[in-house]
Every structure is written in structure tokens, then in C-alpha cells.
């Protein structure tokens, strides 16, 4: 089997099919065997595992996954890649390719069909333009997920990991950390891809919590509060939550809740940890008056 992790083999496949990269699909193919091996190791794939791969490209990582796992389903939006994948994956009987936009795939149903509804592992070199909707979709749509091991833009990996008081801290940090434990696997420079991306990359593994680290009565309301707090980053929390068209919370209510939490009236969202947002959400939630 051609090892596509070798640049010469990737070039040969691209030339054979006259493939034209489509920037709008975030196509930067991996051409570094060590990075590919690192991703597979970090994803901790065992022979009994079902793996969902997002955006297989020409099938480089798919080949590694197919060798490590029981079964792989790869979802690729670009129909020009489908005949290429049929070719590069022809030696594997345990891979199916779906030509679809991952944001439209019912991952819960897929996990039911392919893994008896048990938690699945997701592995991908993600198209960077839709990193957040992909990750949030996987967590929020109720699909059983065990872990997500993905290549993302370096800054995004940082945002997923940091806590309050840092400049990268925001809605993505809080959402990811509510659902999972992030672990930075490796930084990956642009020369490991073809074509080279303009930004640095990093592999991050998100291991889903068995139970969220905080208890909150209405998680959806908490996430609305979080989004409103960081939409208007430089505003105080009372102004941000008051000016948010979605929430329009009276300032006095916000100040009262902050007081109850022992926080200053002029506090900004970026100072609040996940547990603070959970508490604030319970205090400001519909039932608490
Ligand atoms: N896995 C390959 C590799 O590592 O060489 C390709 C990774 S490339 C960064 C991202 C891949 O995701 C491309 O193949 C692209 O066509 C595909 N893609 C982009 N948007 C997608 C979407 N909405 N749904 C599924 N695949 C998508």
C-alpha cells in the first residue's frame, strides 16, 4: 500500500488525478509520517474501535486509521476527492467514505449504526474554517463521543485550553472545558502540509468528561450567558448581559447576582471561571426570579 505520508507519494496521487486544491474547503494535506504517527498514538486507537474521520482528503490519515481500528467512516465534502479515495483506500475492507458536509451528518445515528450507540473516537486534520462548529456540533448534538483528536490552528488549540484572565480565554475555552479535558499533543509547523497553511497548527486531544465538571440547572442558558459575555469583551458583565439582544437582562439583576457571588459589580466575563458561570446561570435563570 502506498504510504501517502511520504510527500513523493502524495504528489504522485495528486498528479495522477490532476487534483486542484480548493482553498474554500481548507485543504492542507499532511505529508509528514512522524506527525501522522503522533496523531494515531494520541488518539489511542485499539483494534475494537470505530473511528469517525472528518475530511480524509486523499486518504493519508485514513490509511493509518484503517490499520489501527476495527472500522473507519470518513466524511469528505469535496466530490473530486471521492474517486481518489476509492483508489487510495481500495486495499482496506474496513473503511467507508461518505460524500457529505460533516455539519449535516447525523453523528448520533452513525454511532448507533456502526458502534451500537457506544462512544466513538473522532480523529481529523480539520478544515480550519469550520473548527468551532464541528467541535461544538459533536458535543452539543448528543452524539456519544469518547474523544476528539484533531489538528487545528495553533491559536485555536490555545483557546481551548486556557483559563480565566488570559487573552485567549473565551466562549470556546468554556464550552470545550465543560464537555472535555483538553490535552495539547504537539505543535505542527506549516512545512508538514501540502500546500503549506499560513498559520501554525497543533494537535489537541479532547477527552470527554464522564460528567461535566460543574453542575448547572440549564446548560443552554449558561452558554447563552457565556456567549453574550464574550461578544462584548471589553464591556463589564452587567453591560454585556444587558445589551445582548438575546438576553437583555436588567442591570440590577446582574449586579445583585454578582453581589451574591461576592464579585465586584464592574467585573468582566473574562475573569469568571466555568464554575462562576454555572452559579451565575443558576442565579439568573428563568426559575430563580
Ligand atoms: N485528512 C487529510 C490530511 O490530513 O491530509 C485532509 C485534511 S484537510 C486540512 C481538510 C479536509 O476536510 C479536506 O479534504 C476538505 O475537503 C475536507 N472538508 C472541508 N470542509 C468539509 C466539510 N464541511 N465536511 C467534510 N469535509 C470537509
Q: Which of 24, 25, 40, 85 to mutate to test the pocket of ligand 1 (most atoms within 8 A of CB)?
A: 25
Q: Helix 171-179 crosses helix 154-161 at what angle (to 10 degrees)? A: 60
pLDDT tens by residue, 37-67: 999 999 999 999 999 999 999 999 999 999 9
d(CA 280, CA 31) in angstroms, rounded, equals 47
pLDDT of residue 75: 98
d(CA 248, CA 212) in angstroms, rounded, equals 28
- Per-residue pLDDT at 289 exceeds 50: no
pLDDT of residue 2: 55
Question: Is 56 near ligand 1, meaning CB less than 6 Å away?
Answer: yes
- Taking the centre of ligand 1 as the mean of its atom positions, its distance from the CA of residue 57, in whole angstroms, is 5
- Taking the centre of ligand 1 as the mean of its atom positions, its distance from the CA of residue 38, in whole angstroms, is 19
Pairing assessment for the beta strands 50-54 and 120-125 based on DSSP bridges: parallel
pLDDT tens by residue, 235-287: 899 999 999 988 999 999 999 999 999 999 999 999 999 999 999 999 999 65
- Binning pLDDT at 50, 70 and 90, where does residue 72 land? very high
- Per-residue pLDDT at 19 exceeds 90: yes
- Taking the centre of ligand 1 as the mean of its atom positions, its distance from the CA of residue 52, in whole angstroms, is 13
For residue 67, with 0-12 CB atoms within 10 Å meaning exposed, 13-18 middle and 19 or more buried, which class applies? middle
State the closest ligand 1 atom to the C-alpha of 105, by its place in the atom list counted from 1: 24
Task: Name the DSSP class of 10.
Answer: H
Instruction: Indicate which residue's Cα is closest to atom 11 of ligand 1.
Output: 55
Question: Is 101 near ligand 1, meaning CB less than 6 Å away?
Answer: yes
- Per-residue pLDDT at 108 exceeds 80: yes
pLDDT of residue 286: 64
- Taking the centre of ligand 1 as the mean of its atom positions, its distance from the CA of residue 18, in whole angstroms, is 18
Question: Is 30 near ligand 1, meaning CB less than 6 Å away?
Answer: yes
**Percentage, residues of the chain above pLDDT 90:** 92
Question: Is 26 near ligand 1, meaning CB less than 6 Å away?
Answer: yes
pLDDT of residue 231: 85
| DSSP-assigned states of every residue in 150-164 | EEEEHHHHHHHH--T
Amino acid at each position: 500500500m502506498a504510504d501517502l505520508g511520504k510527500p513523493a507519494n502524495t504528489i504522485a496521487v495528486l498528479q495522477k488525478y490532476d487534483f486542484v486544491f480548493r482553498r474554500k474547503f481548507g485543504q492542507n494535506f499532511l505529508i509528514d509520517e512522524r506527525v501522522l504517527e503522533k496523531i494515531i498514538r494520541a488518539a489511542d486507537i485499539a483494534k475494537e474501535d470505530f473511528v469517525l474521520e472528518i475530511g480524509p482528503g486523499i486518504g493519508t490519515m485514513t490509511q493509518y486509521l484503517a490499520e489501527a481500528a476495527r472500522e473507519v467512516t470518513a466524511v469528505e465534502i469535496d466530490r473530486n476527492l471521492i474517486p481518489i479515495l476509492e483508489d487510495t483506500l481500495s486495499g482496506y475492507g474496513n473503511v467507508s467514505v461518505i460524500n457529505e458536509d460533516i455539519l449535516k451528518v447525523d453523528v448520533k445515528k452513525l454511532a448507533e449504526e456502526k458502534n451500537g450507540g457506544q462512544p466513538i473516537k473522532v480523529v481529523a486534520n480539520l478544515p480550519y474554517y469550520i473548527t468551532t462548529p464541528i467541535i461544538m456540533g459533536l458535543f452539543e448534538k448528543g452524539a456519544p463521543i469518547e474523544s476528539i483528536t484533531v489538528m487545528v490552528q495553533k491559536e485555536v488549540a490555545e483557546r481551548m485550553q486556557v483559563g480565566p484572565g488570559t487573552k485567549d480565554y473565551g466562549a470556546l475555552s468554556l464550552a470545550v472545558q465543560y464537555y472535555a479535558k483538553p490535552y495539547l499533543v504537539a505543535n505542527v509547523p506549516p512545512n508538514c502540509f501540502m500546500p503549506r497553511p499560513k498559520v501554525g497548527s497543533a494537535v489537541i486531544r479532547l477527552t470527554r468528561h464522564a460528567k461535566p465538571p460543574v453542575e448547572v440547572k440549564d446548560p443552554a442558558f449558561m452558554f447563552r450567558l457565556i456567549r453574550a459575555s464574550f461578544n462584548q469583551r471589553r464591556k463589564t458583565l452587567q453591560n454585556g448581559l444587558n445589551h445582548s439582544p438575546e438576553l437583555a437582562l436588567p442591570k440590577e439583576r446582574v449586579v445583585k447576582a454578582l453581589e451574591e457571588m461576592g464579585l465586584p459589580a464592574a467585573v468582566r466575563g473574562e475573569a469568571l471561571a466555568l464554575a462562576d458561570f454555572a452559579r451565575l446561570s443558576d442565579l439568573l435563570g428563568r426559575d430563580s426570579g
